[in-house]
Structure 1
Amino acid sequence: MLPNTTARRLFQNLCRQSKLSKRQNSTASHKPSNIVTKHFDEITVPVPWGHIAGKWYGPKHVRPILGLHGWQDNAGTFDTLAPLLPQHTAFLSLDMPGHGLSSWLPDGQAYHSIDYVVLLRRLMEEFKWDKLSMITHSMSSINGFVFSALFPDKVDMFVGLDVLKPITRNPDKIVDSISTRLEDFIKMEKRMRSKSEPPCYEWEQLVERLHIGTEKSVSVESCQYLLQRNSKPSQHEPHKYYFARDSRLKSSMFYPFSREVPFEMAKRIKCPHLFIKALGGPYYEPKENYDDTLEILKQNPLFEYHEVEGTHHVHLNNPERVAPIINDFISRWRT
């Protein structure tokens, strides 16, 4: 675990860098230069449809803790947290398929939550890992929950941020959601066949759209970390940019689980499990579903629960609030 003074100093330097970048670009309409918060190596991992991109921090001779991001975010979501993790720890922040710098799925394919669970098994096979350690946020926190329940012997440490479990709905809502998303997918495919460039914006407009699009969960200052891997310059409009993630992500198919399924999954998670809830973050479903699952998880003697002030992206906006909790957890389970 980082000493408090070291963690504070790293975070203060990070804040000064962020503010400087903001001042330098306050009147410009161009994308800021690459932001480096801690040294990392860009890596790619082959998969049948292309590659998975990632940022590898720290030593290469040890199995890394995986950093897995939320829906339509990317590996940049951990840019501010990575410098505050223990220096001896290897940390691999990944772009999920269709996000960041990772390959999109082939034409005709739709995104589904279970695919990300399969991806984790692919990574284990590729690197010859016998277990996984994960720090996960939002969508990936859900997928980490599912993976840990399906393969309880393959996880030695699981940290979830803000979203506890798969979101459940009443049966009628599940059926309606599936039909709506299938229709949205077909419409999205038709638009993508035109091969035209997505809508383009001045850099400040792009930042504002991301900030507002997340319901201000991602602060204006933090948008830069996601946009580094989530935007491309326009080929037709100088000094403008567009969102570079796969548009089909908007019609992703999520787990069609009834209320009882996460209860059963929670019973099967046996690994050291840390969950941190942002008090300003949403629940996305009736809170009693969350509370009932939490009570089951607390039966695991290796489960820990913490609450912190902040938005859904508190780990990105205010990493100093979650880093000490995570580092203490790492020090006990990943020495």
Structure 2
Amino acid sequence: MTAQIEEVRFNLPHIELAAHLYGPADGLPVIALHGWLDNAASFSHLAPRLPGLRIVALDQAGHGHSSHRAPGSGYQLWDYALDVLLVADQLGWQKFALLGHSMGAIVSLLLAGAVPERISRLALIDGLIPYTGEAAQAPQKLGEALRAQLALAGKQKPVYAEIEQAIQARMKGVGAVSHEAASRLAQRGLMPVAGGYTWRTDSRLTLPSPLRLTRAHAVAFLDAVQCPLSLVLAEQGMLLVEPRFTEVLEGRPFTVQRLPGGHHLHLDSAAGAQVVADCFNPFFAGP
């Protein structure tokens, strides 16, 4: 399936973000947020299969064609949340839906819990609450993060002589993907350098988090969501293997559908994208 894609950019007060724009101008407003180390191409199979939506698929900060954050800045989840609100304000969208995958789903949930008056619907793919940490672990985790930041200057990104080598490496990365998915991500995510190609992503994205929310914090955001929520879980994805994750789902008033496929089931193949679309189309069309 092919669809017209418009490349757009948003000049925010602190950063410039790139995005793909899909759908009719009068469609239901939706901001789509990809996962960690991915880019807007994550939705290139799925977005054309969601008719009637005006989808802005962002390259989140530090990813794809978007700018990197300023020196001394970080990539915390709440920083992404602010970016989304500023993009929505530029679009004139007082209320909008969120379509999120993995890290993008987590950012979507935090936004819906924090500013429920702005979010109309949540459509999430293999992502929900953030990875958590308890108070006793906080000093150790902050120390690890600070040491990693100091060591980053001495590290270099890998350079691939051929694009296919980068695609093969991405297939084996965190959240392993199909060749089709890796090719789409690479097409938008690579840039030429001396000796070949490397990823556009900011190296700081690989640093460990200096602070994690506790489980109680994470669940509180879920409890604060007021809009309809539809969650697609991949049978071979990353959520179902998380300890105690099923406890989070128990008794929750939202739709959960388990589908065959891996963490990137919406991008790994056209067939996988269609199955996800078949879940979300009725959801977006609902009251």
Cα RMSD between the aligned structures? Answer: 2.0
Within 1, Cα distance between the matches of 2:9 and 2:286?
A: 30
What is the identity, as a one-letter code, of the residue corresponding to 2:224? R
Structure 2 residue aligned with 1:110? 74
Structure 2 residue aligned with 1:84? 49
Q: Deviations over 1:271-290 (max 9, x none)?
A: 010011111012398531x2
Q: Deviations over 1:61-110 (max 9, x none)?
A: 44531111001100000011122111x32111110000000011112222
**Equivalent of residue 154 in structure 2, options 181, 187, 191:** 191
Structure 2 residue aligned with 1:49? 14
Q: Secondary structure at the match of 1:279?
A: strand
- Residue 198 of structure 1 deviates from its aligned partner by 5.1
What is the identity, as a one-letter code, of the residue corresponding to 1:72? L
Name the CA shift for 1:186/1:63 in 2 (closer, same or farther; >3 Å): farther
Structure 1 residue aligned with 2:237? 281
Structure 1 residue aligned with 2:286? 332
What is the identity, as a one-letter code, of the residue corresponding to 1:68? L
**Equivalent of residue 203 in structure 1, options 137, 140, 163:** 163
Q: Deviations over 1:23-46 (max 9, x none)?
A: xxxxxxxxxxxxxx4211100011
Say whether residues 1:151 and 2:115 are aligned partners: yes
**Contact 1:137-1:160 at 8 Å conserved across structures:** yes
Query: Which of the two has higher C-alpha Rg?
Result: 1
- Residue 324 of structure 1 deviates from its aligned partner by 0.2
Q: Percent identity?
A: 27
Query: Under a length normalisation based on structure 2, what TM-score does the superposition of the two structures give?
Result: 0.92
- Residue 214 of structure 1 deviates from its aligned partner by 2.8
Structure 2 residue aligned with 1:293? 248
Name the CA shift for 1:110/1:266 in 2 (closer, same or farther; >3 Å): closer
Structure 2 residue aligned with 1:305? 256
What is the identity, as a one-letter code, of the residue corresponding to 1:322? V
What is the identity, as a one-letter code, of the residue corresponding to 2:227? C
Within 2, Cα distance between the matches of 1:144 and 1:324?
A: 21
Within 1, Cα distance between the matches of 2:250 and 2:223?
A: 10
Say whether residues 1:131 and 2:86 are aligned partners: no
Within 2, Cα distance between the matches of 1:84 and 1:55?
A: 15
**Contact 1:66-1:134 at 8 Å conserved across structures:** yes
**Equivalent of residue 192 in structure 2, options 227, 233, 255:** 233
Within 1, Cα distance between the matches of 2:185 and 2:165?
A: 15
1:251-262 equivalent positions in 2, closer than 5 A: 251=207, 253=209, 256-262=212-218
Within 2, Cα distance between the matches of 1:231 and 1:167?
A: 28
- Would you say how many aligned residue pairs link Structure 1 and Structure 2? 284
**Contact 1:142-1:164 at 8 Å conserved across structures:** yes
Q: Secondary structure at the match of 1:223?
A: helix
Q: Deviations over 1:85-136 (max 9, x none)?
A: 11x3211111000000001111222221110111122123222221121110
Query: Under a length normalisation based on structure 1, what TM-score does the superposition of the two structures give?
Result: 0.79
Q: Secondary structure at the match of 2:73?
A: coil
- Residue 222 of structure 1 deviates from its aligned partner by 1.5
Say whether residues 1:40 and 2:29 are aligned partners: no
Q: Secondary structure at the match of 1:55?
A: strand
Name the CA shift for 1:63/1:324 in 2 (closer, same or farther; >3 Å): closer
Name the CA shift for 1:147/1:197 in 2 (closer, same or farther; >3 Å): closer
Within 1, Cα distance between the matches of 2:247 and 2:210?
A: 21
What is the identity, as a one-letter code, of the residue corresponding to 1:211? M
Decide which structure has greater strand share. 2
Q: Deviations over 1:149-184 (max 9, x none)?
A: 111121101111112211112333343222212221
Q: Secondary structure at the match of 1:64?
A: strand
Within 1, Cα distance between the matches of 2:222 and 2:77?
A: 18
Q: Deviations over 1:233-266 (max 9, x none)?
A: 22x32xx211111111111537611121222222
Structure 2 residue aligned with 1:4? none
Say whether residues 1:223 and 2:177 are aligned partners: no
Q: Secondary structure at the match of 1:73?
A: coil
Name the CA shift for 1:160/1:197 in 2 (closer, same or farther; >3 Å): closer
Within 2, Cα distance between the matches of 1:91 and 1:286?
A: 30
